[in-house]
Amino acid sequence: MKAFSIDRYGKHSGSFNEVPEPAVGPHDVLVQVHAASVNLLDAKIRTGEFKLILPYALPQALGNDLAGVVVDTGPAVQRFKPGDEVYARPPQDRIGTFAERIAVHEQALALKPHNLDMVQAASLPLVALTAWQVLVETARLKKGQKVLIHAGSGGVGTVAIQLAKHLGAFVATTTSTANVEWVKALGADVVIDYTQQDFAHVLSGYDVVLNSLDSKVLEQSLSVLKPGGQLISISGPPTPAFAQAQGLSWGLQQAMRLLSFGIRRKARKKGVHYAFVFMRADGAQLREITALVESGVIRPVIDRTFPFAATADALRLVEQGRAKGKVVVTLM
């Protein structure tokens, strides 16, 4: 079968190759991929930015999101059958959705929302699970609390705004001038145009910040939080707790401790808790998200679609960081 894979790390690495059919284990579901969305994570894996914590054996097919149809199941699978329309973010050690077929552990998989097509469904798993694991699982966001979601027009931001509003929070976000009214329509109560305003000078008294930007924005975000608030970053730096949960070596755990020492120390001085979230595959959480999608609480936001043959072009667009919502590659 055909897959878009890398055999070395580098910004422009990646090509189409014929690869073996996936092996289907007892709890695996073999999926014919109809669509796969592109995430910044794919670009970071391609350049080798995460090779210490995600040590893939090259060559490695890229791709962390999928929607498709079940073609076969392992003997122990009970929840899915051939013909089911499904979507998923595969477990991080078994990625590779930029391929015609992929075997996914059943615990990472969910039935596709009935009101979405394949492109829309493929756009959601990674960003929706990220938003869920930050706002619901880590922050335990409550009705009436105030949350700042950076990069509101991005893939995670568009879903996080909608989820936070559903949870009853007051939502602020940052974006560029062109997207101000657009993110308001998603539900944001306050929109900071970062080309005109400094969010750190405008906002205060917030309970939670979801950061997906650089270290400068991360540090500035401390000033908008009230004592007891939570600064949660999906762009780093990783913490010792994350390294331990990942089962990384003692040396890497110490490296993570050093990398995050500065922001953790500054957070403590402010009476704020800092956490790093690296989202994980979770079919049960994805089913919760499915219910929200089918009830109209969360709707996917698609910027552009590309044919499978133009996967490299889709990656380049995502790397530029200017997509409104998600970029999706179509295979069927």
Q: What is the pLDDT of residues 131-141, one digit of tens each?
A: 999 999 999 99
Task: Answer yes or no: are the C-beta atoms of 58 and 136 closer than 8 Å.
Answer: no
Lowest mean per-residue pLDDT among 7-16, 77-86, 288-297: 7-16
Q: Tell me what pLDDT residue 52 has.
A: 82
Tell whether omega for the bond before 307 is within 30 degrees of 0, i.e. cis: no
pLDDT above 90 (res 321): no
pLDDT, mean over the chain: 96
Q: Give me the residue label for tokens 């295979």.
A: 331
Q: Using the 8-state DSSP alphabet, how is residue 97 labeled? A: -
pTM (2 d.p.): 0.96
Q: Tell me what pLDDT residue 322 has.
A: 82
pLDDT digits over 45-104, tens only? 999 988 888 889 999 999 999 999 999 999 999 999 999 999 999 999 999 999 999 999
Q: Tell me what pLDDT residue 206 has.
A: 98
Q: What's the rounded mean pLDDT across residues 302-322?
A: 95
Q: Tell me what pLDDT residue 12 has.
A: 87
pLDDT above 90 (res 297): yes
Q: Tell me what pLDDT residue 50 has.
A: 85
Q: How far apart are CA 4 and CA 140, in angstroms?
A: 38
Q: Tell me what pLDDT residue 10 has.
A: 92
Which spans in the chain are helix H? 40-47, 118-122, 125-132, 155-166, 180-186, 199-202, 215-221, 240-245, 250-269, 283-294, 311-320
CATH number, domain 2-124+300-330 = 3.90.180.10
Delimiting residues of CATH 3.40.50.720 domain(s) in the chain: 126-276
Q: Tell me what pLDDT residue 67 has.
A: 98
Q: How far apart are CA 224 and CA 321, in angstroms?
A: 24
Tell whether omega for the bond before 113 is within 30 degrees of 0, i.e. cis: no
Helix (H, G, I), strand (E, B) or coil at 326: strand
Delimiting residues of CATH 3.90.180.10 domain(s) in the chain: 2-124+300-330
pLDDT digits over 202-218, tens only? 999 999 999 999 999 99
Q: What's the rounded mean pLDDT across residues 209-238?
A: 96
Q: Tell me what pLDDT residue 29 has.
A: 98
Report phi then psi at 206, rounded to 5.
-90, 150
Q: Which CATH class is domain 126-276?
A: alpha beta
Lowest mean per-residue pLDDT among 25-29, 98-102, 232-236: 232-236
Tokens of 318: 């995502």
CA distances from 211 to 107, 122, 174, 219 (A): 28, 23, 10, 10
Q: Tell me what pLDDT residue 239 has.
A: 93
CA distances from 237 to 232, 278, 296 (A): 10, 11, 34
**3-state DSSP helix/strand/coil % of the chain, to nearest 5:** 35, 25, 40
Query: CA geometry: angle at 67 spanning 15 and 123, to 5°?
Result: 80
End-to-end CA distance of the chain: 14
pLDDT above 90 (res 246): no
pLDDT confidence bin for 294, thresholds 50/70/90 = very high
